[in-house]
Amino acid sequence: MARARSPLLVRLYRMATWLATPFVGLLLARRLRRGKEDGTRLTERYGRASAPRPRGPLVWVHGASVGEMIAVLPLIERLRARGFRVLFTSGTLTSARLAQARLPPDVPHQFVPLDSPLFLRRFLKHWRPDLVLLVESELWPNLILEVNARSTPLVLVNARMSPSSFANWRRVHGSVSALLARVDLCLAQGAEDGERLRQLGAPRVTVTGNLKFDAPPPPVDIAAFDALRLATAGRVVFVAASTHAGEEEIVIEAHQRLVKELPNLLTVIAPRHPERGTAVVQLATAAGCPAVLRSDGYRPDKGTAIYVADTIGELGLFYRLGPVALLGGSLVRKGGQNPIEPIKLDTAILHGPHVTNFNALYARLDEAGGAALATDGRSLAAAIYMLLADGASRQKMVAAAQVTVESFGGALERTLGAIDPYLVQIQLERH
């Protein structure tokens, strides 16, 4: 794609990142102290590879964090089936741990370099990708510019542009338009996302849908599942998944209300950020609910009221164990979490009022009777009790949710169709 002179703001950003490069170690040291970096892999943030480049045509797939990684797994499999090697990058510790468990052995994982021209040039010189697929809500100027400088096709996949992000980007319209002009193709999740991207200056936009609807249910360790099923025999299990600060108190209150009617209730709380597990145990203990941490090696016994699942990649296990789940990030203003996985595992879904990340999906689910709203400890307890006590209503909700999710499907095939010309061109050039 043709290179053009960047707007002043982009040039200033680029100059600032060049000047800041010598001080990156201070930033990474601070992030390391806060538990946000892997001390054994910090060099990857500087663009230094910790794995060899595979031979053959290589597609670089970048997913910002866990959700993007899970969404793109089927796409990675299809690329491999067509003979392409894949490099996967992400930016969070949680996604790196999940990558170790979920990626095929021949797909290397690297932490994405910080957005510095020097680091990205070093990274691109080693990996030499033939195609770049970004599954990322942020636009990183240096990444886009350096990929463009190598004349490597770059596609935004599963692209989303929220109203708040759109409003922010419009303030620097010239700069974002110049960046989007260097993107070969934007594959938007929805029509509204696509229209916002067009208004910001993206010249080539196609609406392909959300890949998360085509992702398979999360796998489960059979031995771990059997052990937990044995430990919880005779218990009624409720799961609060991906909770944020301020939500655990509501879940614990709901548990206290419910246990009067369901004395064998076990509530599983899986905090969105596993490092908060100890704090959740302290909250439960202070409320008089005996709690243990899964990461400490404990399984729930008859005296356990709250089981804190502070581990990575095990939500599939708990969704299979508990017939009802609250999706976190929705009782507080975090935008809500993705309900697709539990729905595919026959789990009935509850959520709070703050679901801006998945507005269209939750609206359709609620309208179809495939999910229910709770706003506080009292309403959450009432909704849980109804679903646990009435198996027929629960199954009706699950069935309605599954029909709704299926109606959103097809994004994987549309995405593959959209990037097929790039894949064919790469194969022709290689031969």
By annotation, the residues acting in catalysis are 68
Q: Which two tokens stand for residue 404?
A: 């709704």
For residue 130, what is the DSSP state?
S
Half-sphere exposure of 385 (CA within 13 A, CB side): 16
* Angstrom distance (rounded) from CA 110 to CA 49: 7
**What's the distance, CA 109 to chain centroid?**
16
- Decide if 240 contacts 267 (C-beta within 8 A): yes
Contacts of 15 (CB under 8 A, 6+ apart): none
Provide, for the chain, the percentages of residues in helix, strand and coil under a 3-state DSSP scheme, each rounded to the nearest 5.
50, 15, 35
Q: Edge to edge, what strands does the sheet with 324-327 contain?
A: 291-293, 306-308, 265-271, 236-243, 324-327, 348-351, 372-373
Q: Where are the alpha helices (DSSP H) in 232-371?
A: 248-258, 277-286, 315-321, 340-344, 359-368
CA angle 170, 173, 178 (to 5 degrees): 140
d(CA 9, CA 16): 10
Comparing CA positions, the residue from 45, 53, 13, 60 lying closest to residue 155 is 60
Q: How many residues does the chain have?
A: 431
Q: Are strands 306-308 and 348-351 parallel, antiparallel or unpaired?
A: unpaired
Nearest 5°: the CA angle 14, 19, 22 is 125
Q: What is the CA angle 7-10-16, rounded to 5?
A: 140
Q: Which residues pair with 109 in a beta bridge?
A: 88
